[in-house]
Structure 1
Amino acid sequence: MFKNVLSENIWGRVVSEKEPVFEEINKIVESNSKLISKLNNEYHDHDSTIKLLSEITGQKVDDSVGVNLPLYSDFGKHLSIGKSVFINSNVMFTDLGGITLEDHVLIGPRVNLLSVNHPTNPEQRRGLIVSPITIKKNAWIGAAATVLPGVTIGENAIVGANAVVTKDVPANTVVTGSPAKVVKTI
């Protein structure tokens, strides 16, 4: 599970752009962008990729994790990656709200995991609403799927390519479409 690195609780409320925590967030984003640039714009063998990913997340990433670069993250410090996870190329982790990838998860190419949203009220629009995403053990997120804030993908579940997941996916099911709906039990 990811650990909160911010001095303030940002979950369960609208975080205004005028709050001091926004400056803290922006500093982490700036620091992370340098590491992401280094990760994606230089050659890295497996060991150096894992080392950089550990630095980006602020947590030890297990050597059993496989990554096909490039990989993108806007925040980095609220991303937790289990053992034997595979992340394919061009994945985007918007992880300020927290993203947990449990053991044996497969993430397809061009997947978007988005734990951040904005208020519908135009006067608060630049604020943030964050809600964690959890991908349970042995789940598979297909190519170009998008998972929205607050969603849990159940153990062994499969999210089909190009699906847009707006609500929790039960364990041992296959979901497809936009919005994603259960099409099969496995």
Structure 2
Amino acid sequence: MELEKLLSKMAEEGVIHGGSEVNEAMVAVSDETRRLCAILNNGVYTNEEIREQVSRIIGQELDEGFSLFVPFTSDFGKNLTIGKNVFINSGCRFQDQGQIILGDESLIGHNVVFATINHDYNPSNRRTMYLKPIELKKRAWIGSNATILLGVTIGENSVVAAGSVVTKDVPPNTIVGGNPAKFLSNLEDKIK
């Protein structure tokens, strides 16, 4: 299955059934992405070389303001969109089958997990995966060891505190934290 058709089916249907043609195509893309991530994570590269390698992983040319500290893992790679001047710290894991969009000037702390898949609760149907996108709006900041779950949008300028698990949308210009993440403060209250 061609990549464009696969991405279209995943977006339209929002589900991947274990053993299906879509599942097999997804696994083939994932195999290549894991190989490319292993190359990235097991060498010593300049910032420019890292940008080039991540561009191959995601199939998108990245701007000179993009910066990433390895190691980095993407499960799929081709459903990840990265804006301008984005920084991703080390140890991050992107499960992007459901789509991840990182807005311009986003900051991602150490060991952040983006999970766009949930499995069926029925034990006999656990190979079925449900997909929903994650989006970070412009200048969102995700603290270290946070987990962002499927279907969540983080609003412009918002902050997710370290260690948080975000299960619901975060409005613009707010700070959230905890498990599950809850409103902590308006951003304007922290700006001096």
Is residue 156 of structure 1 aligned with residue 157 of structure 2?
A: yes
Q: Secondary structure at the match of 2:81?
A: strand
Structure 1: gaps of 5 or more residues: none
Q: Secondary structure at the match of 2:9?
A: coil
CA displacement 1:34-64 (0-9 Å, x = unmatched): 1100000011101110000000001111111
User: Quick one: which amino acid aligns to residue 128 of structure 1?
Assistant: M
- The 2-side partners of 1:21 and 1:139 are apart by 32
Does the 8 A contact of 2:14 with 2:132 survive in 1?
A: no
Does the 8 A contact of 1:4 with 1:78 survive in 2?
A: no
- The 2-side partners of 1:139 and 1:158 are apart by 6
- Say which structure is richer in helix: 2
Tell me by how many angstroms 1:143 deviates: 0.4
Could you state the TM-score of these two structures normalised by the residue count of structure 1? 0.95
CA displacement 1:1-48 (0-9 Å, x = unmatched): xx9561651245432112101111111011111110000001110111
User: Quick one: which amino acid aligns to residue 66 of structure 2?
Assistant: V
Equivalent pairs, count: 184
Sequence identity percentage: 42
- The 2-side partners of 1:6 and 1:21 are apart by 7
Is residue 70 of structure 1 aligned with residue 71 of structure 2?
A: yes
Q: Hey, what does 2:175 align to over in structure 1?
A: 174
| Larger RCO of the pair (alpha carbons < 8 Å, separation 6+) | 1
User: Quick one: which amino acid aligns to residue 9 of structure 2?
Assistant: N
CA displacement 1:72-116 (0-9 Å, x = unmatched): 111000011110111000000000100000100000000001111
Q: What CA RMSD, in Å, does the superposition of the two structures yield over aligned residues?
A: 1.4
Does the 8 A contact of 2:7 with 2:79 survive in 1?
A: no
